[in-house]
Amino acid sequence: MTHQNWGASPGSPRRWRAVDGIVLLDKPQGLTSTQALQRVRRHLQAEKAGHAGTLDPMATGMLPLCFGQATKACGTLLGRSKAYSATVLLGVATDTGDAEGQPVVEVDVPAYDADRLERALAALRGERLQVPPMYSALKRDGRPLYELARQGIEVEREARLITIMSLVVTGRGDRTLDIEVVCSKGTYVRVLAEEIAAGLGTRAHLVALRRLWVEPFESAAMVSLAEIEATPAAEVTHAPWLAAVDSAFPDVPVLKLNAGQALQLCKGRTLPCPAGLPSAAHYRAYDPAGRFLGLVEPGAAGRLQVQRLFVPGAGTNGDGPKT
């Protein structure tokens, strides 16, 4: 998760403003996630911005950008499932695991049939451990691993628990495989490509990667950078591609409050749990005007307490008693 809170630099004519919402950017190839975020943020003139889930410069596809109050949802989105399509080139390994790296070894690709391919895929599905690559943003002693890798330094990386919910081949060439994968956070598709190749007795790297969706936006439309920048600055806060903050929580039950309850909640105080409220881990709270206030959860003595507020200046520390 990346949060950035920019203000106008000395002498700068730009005026930042409060913008709340989520943009599902179709990140173009060649930009880092931060560069893409900065471009959109400047066009929106948004004071506060962050992105949920880094995409490599080579990759394209869904990059959720969070602005204003929505930056509080970045952590939630970062932890959700994601889906990718990718093209794997068999027989050649690179130092980065993708086409941006330098080839380090070239080997034969043994003949394999559909059964052997399926066995290789089946071994990778489900919950298991995966060792992150050296070319990653993970840090060791405060330094990103990719900085060490560029110096030819390799350090031991702890394997992380991941889940591959779905892994299928959608196309096959002489030396290529097109795959689609649905996976948990922390999964490196570059490493997955290498693992598939190992199951076939060869080496590989990614030559294309696209993120298809990030939960809960499985069926949501993405917007291109060109479309965003073609929208007049005066219209961006009403653009259809700027989704509401609560779109990050579509499956959370709704709790409608009266004016008094809304006021108490925004002060960070607990509320009596309404009769007949369905059992849930948390609820989306709204004021009488339909404004999304935040998330509440069952607390002690049959009362509801703030889990996270999404309104400016609310709560004892701007966010309620629990953040």
- Does 17 share its domain with 51? yes
Assign 10 a pLDDT band (cuts: 50, 70, 90).
Answer: very low
Domain that holds residue 281: 252-309
- Does 86 share its domain with 209? yes
What is d(CA 5, CA 46) in angstroms, rounded to the nearest whole number? 9
Pairing of strands 103-106, 92-94: antiparallel
What is d(CA 213, CA 190) in angstroms, rounded to the nearest whole number? 17
- Does 97 share its domain with 190? yes
- Does 126 share its domain with 39? no
Asked if the structure places residue 152 within a domain, the reply is yes
Please list, in sequence order, all residues whose beta carbon lies within 8 angstroms of the beta carbon of residue 301, skipping any fewer than 6 positions away.
none
- The residue from 245, 261, 294 where one domain ends is 245
Residue 136's pLDDT is 67
- Does 234 share its domain with 171? no
Q: What is the pTM of this model?
A: 0.88
The residues annotated as belonging to the active site are 56
pLDDT tens digit sequence for 41-74: 999 999 999 999 889 899 999 999 999 999 999 9
- Does 48 share its domain with 95? no
- Does 144 share its domain with 231? no
The CATH number for 103's domain is 3.30.2350.10
Tokens for 183, please give them: 């996976």
Q: What does pLDDT average to over the chain?
A: 89
Residue 315's pLDDT is 53
- Does 88 share its domain with 204? yes
pLDDT tens digit sequence for 238-278: 999 999 999 999 999 999 999 999 999 999 999 999 888 88
pLDDT exceeds cutoff 70 at 12 = no
Q: Vertex 293, ends 51 and 76: CA angle to 5°?
A: 30
pLDDT, average across residues 71-89: 94
Assign 13 a pLDDT band (cuts: 50, 70, 90).
Answer: low
| 79 vs 63: which has the higher pLDDT | 63
pLDDT, average across residues 105-115: 96
- Does 230 share its domain with 262? no
- Does 35 share its domain with 95? no
The CATH number for 239's domain is 3.30.70
- The shares of helix, strand and coil residues in the chain, as percent rounded to the nearest 5, are 25, 35, 40
Counted domains in the chain:
3
pLDDT, average across residues 180-199: 96
Asked if the structure places residue 321 within a domain, the reply is no
